Amino acid sequence: MRAWMTSVHDGLGLRTGTVIFMASAAVIAVFVIATIAFTAQVDAVFQTLTGWILENLGWFYVLGVTVFLVFLIYMAVSRFGRVRLGPDDEGPEHSGWAWFGMLFAAGIGTILMFWGVAEPINHLANPPMQDVPPGSPEAFEQAMAFTLYHFGLHTWTIFTLPALCFAYFMYKRNLPPRVSSIFHPLLGDRIHGPLGAVIDVTAIVGTMFGVAVSVGLGTLQINSGLASLFGIEESRLVQILIIAAVSAVAIISVAVGLDRGIKRLSNFNIVVAVGLLCFVVVTGPTLFLLQGTIETAGTYLAWLPELAFWNDTVNDSGWQNGWTVFYWAWTISWSPFVGIFIARISRGRSIRQFIVGVLAVPVTFSVIWFGVFGWGSYDIERNDPGALTGPVVDDGDIPGALFTFLESFPLTTLMSVIAIMLVVVFFTTSVDSAALVMDTIANGHEDPAPTRQRVFWALCVALVAGTLLGATGAGGLQALQEVIIVVGLPFFVMGYVMIYSLVRALKEDAGERRPLRTKRWGRVLPPEEAARRAAEDEPGHPARDDGDPEEKGPLLRKTDSAPRDQVPPRS
């Protein structure tokens, strides 16, 4: 089997981890085919598994994210916060503005556009705790608290924990940019074997499913906007065409690379997003929105301790399973993608800078975004009851919530076009960065690889989302969502392993001495890539070059950064 995979791999002119690449592609293909051919059966199986997880383990998901957040805060304030994610004398690779733009676009940009109006209005009409009258001021306060709980610190915690681990093991220990590298303190060089391959294939497949859901939501929102503006029908065919068109743009971005593709698109998108935000503030009830946003920040901080541990124990209404638990499972399923991407753009920052930046800056923007759009929605609803809850909640037009909202503002058509453009670019950067990361995991290194590999992963994202929306409609998307809740479970378990591995590695490399001096690790390549480069170094090979003396394959080489007698004693 391995010989056959190698033959196909080489025949296609690829340069990646053969087993991980082929196994991931096979799993994705089998899942898509099975979902199309046996939608009812697949749905029944995952409905059963999802039902059991939600009924018995919802608390585990809620507790897990809170534990991760507490750990990150501890890391930021502890002495380990001074450790730099890379060589000790290296500075950040990207400016703060560019860094934030890429963080935002690759994280939850599409989700903010989709839920900015829809979630507060849903919770206003159906208060999560069911202890206040729907539509009341108390219901709106609760709605904003839960909305920010879902898209504030806890969501970014799910991204930050794996991102921190990736950054440390990739740039401090110089291990391959794979999820399996995080397990190095536990598995040693076995991360390069079958067990490591299973971990990495799971990460790629989870990323594919998670991004496909985001692409599906973005497609529905674009289709709804086009229907509102130009009367284009909301149909499977239109959604397939939208996915094809946007994916074509994403593939172009993939081909031009990180600095010219994702970076430029991210910077452009953040400027336009801020422009849309300012437009709503200036043309809407400005004072009301500013006061409300500040008030919402306080509401979020006041409610956060309770929400972080709330499990709907008394009412047991099932509300939390449909919202919070699904969000956490969905988010963590594609956290390897966002984690590796954040790690790649964060080299050279200290652990403290990293945690504060990744948590504080995007969360602050989320508070402002939801504050403005949430209070704007509330103002519309209190002045014209049913204007938003009618179409969004009663009729279930969640994808069209933003466009219904913009009808209450001037320049509706222009602003709706800009909103569609924002969703398209967020869509593009998500597919682009997901393709980059999946290719990186499969390759096991960050050096230039054939562009066709990244294009392949971008096409896979489009194929998965398009097949599910086009061939099976809502049933297929629902089946995928249920799969994600199941896939999310091992990722939550993995989160605790990440905490243990990171702390153990930090203590090993610091030698438990002050000041923190860390070991210098030689660069590590996956065995198959090390073998390729060794062959290329043979006399007469057309690709021979001087090579990198630190590339030694899977064997780790480490030395103390300073002689032991030169390390100052513990103070």
Per-residue pLDDT of 442-453, as tens digits, reads: 988 888 778 888
What pLDDT is attached to residue 160?
94
Mean pLDDT of 369-379: 96
Residue 562's pLDDT band (boundaries 50, 70, 90)? very low
What pLDDT is attached to residue 371?
96
Residue 571's pLDDT band (boundaries 50, 70, 90)? very low
Nearest-angstrom CA–CA distance, 366 and 160: 16
pLDDT at 570 over 80: no
Nearest-angstrom CA–CA distance, 96 and 483: 37
What pLDDT is attached to residue 75?
95
pLDDT at 225 over 80: yes
Mean pLDDT of the residues in the chain: 83
Q: How much helix, strand and coil, in percent to the nearest 5, is found in the chain?
A: 75, 0, 25
Lowest mean pLDDT among 290-304, 508-522, 538-552: 538-552
What pLDDT is attached to residue 66?
96
Backbone angles phi, psi at 350, to 5 degrees: -75, 160
Nearest-angstrom CA–CA distance, 423 and 429: 10
The closest of 533, 523, 524 to 449, measured between CA atoms, is: 533
The closest of 215, 242, 265, 250 to 454, measured between CA atoms, is: 250
pLDDT at 380 over 90: yes
Q: What is the pLDDT of residues 385-418, one digit of tens each?
A: 999 999 999 988 888 999 999 999 999 999 999 9
What pLDDT is attached to residue 262?
60
pTM of the model: 0.83
What pLDDT is attached to residue 421?
86
Taking phi first (over 0 means left), then psi (-120 to 50 degrees means alpha), and beta for anything else, what does residue 489 get? alpha
Query: In the numeric block, which tokens belong to residue 147?
Result: 């909305």
Contact yes or no for 113/426 (Cβ under 8 A): yes
pLDDT at 341 over 90: no
Q: What is the pLDDT of residues 173-198, one digit of tens each?
A: 889 999 999 999 888 888 999 999 99
- Dihedral sign (CA 82, 86, 89, 95): negative
pLDDT at 565 over 80: no
Q: Is 74 exposed, middle or buried (0-12, 13-18, 19+ CB in 10 A)?
A: middle
How many Å is the maximal CA-CA distance in the chain? 79
Backbone angles phi, psi at 520, to 5 degrees: -105, 120
Residue 542's pLDDT band (boundaries 50, 70, 90)? low
Nearest-angstrom CA–CA distance, 200 and 454: 17
What pLDDT is attached to residue 388?
94
The closest of 206, 192, 178 to 27, measured between CA atoms, is: 206
CA atoms within 13 A on the CB side of 148: 32
Query: In the numeric block, which tokens belong to residue 119?
Result: 């979630």
pLDDT at 558 over 80: no
What pLDDT is attached to residue 502?
94
Nearest-angstrom CA–CA distance, 281 and 274: 11
Lowest mean pLDDT among 394-408, 475-489, 553-567: 553-567
Other CB atoms closer than 10 Å to residue 562's CB: what's the count? 11
DSSP readout, 413-464? HHHHHHHHHHHHHHHHHHHHHHHHHHHHHHHTS-S---HHHHHHHHHHHHHH
Mean pLDDT of 207-235: 84
Lowest mean pLDDT among 100-104, 352-356, 458-462, 487-491: 100-104
Contact yes or no for 409/117 (Cβ under 8 A): no
What pLDDT is attached to residue 557?
42
What pLDDT is attached to residue 136?
93
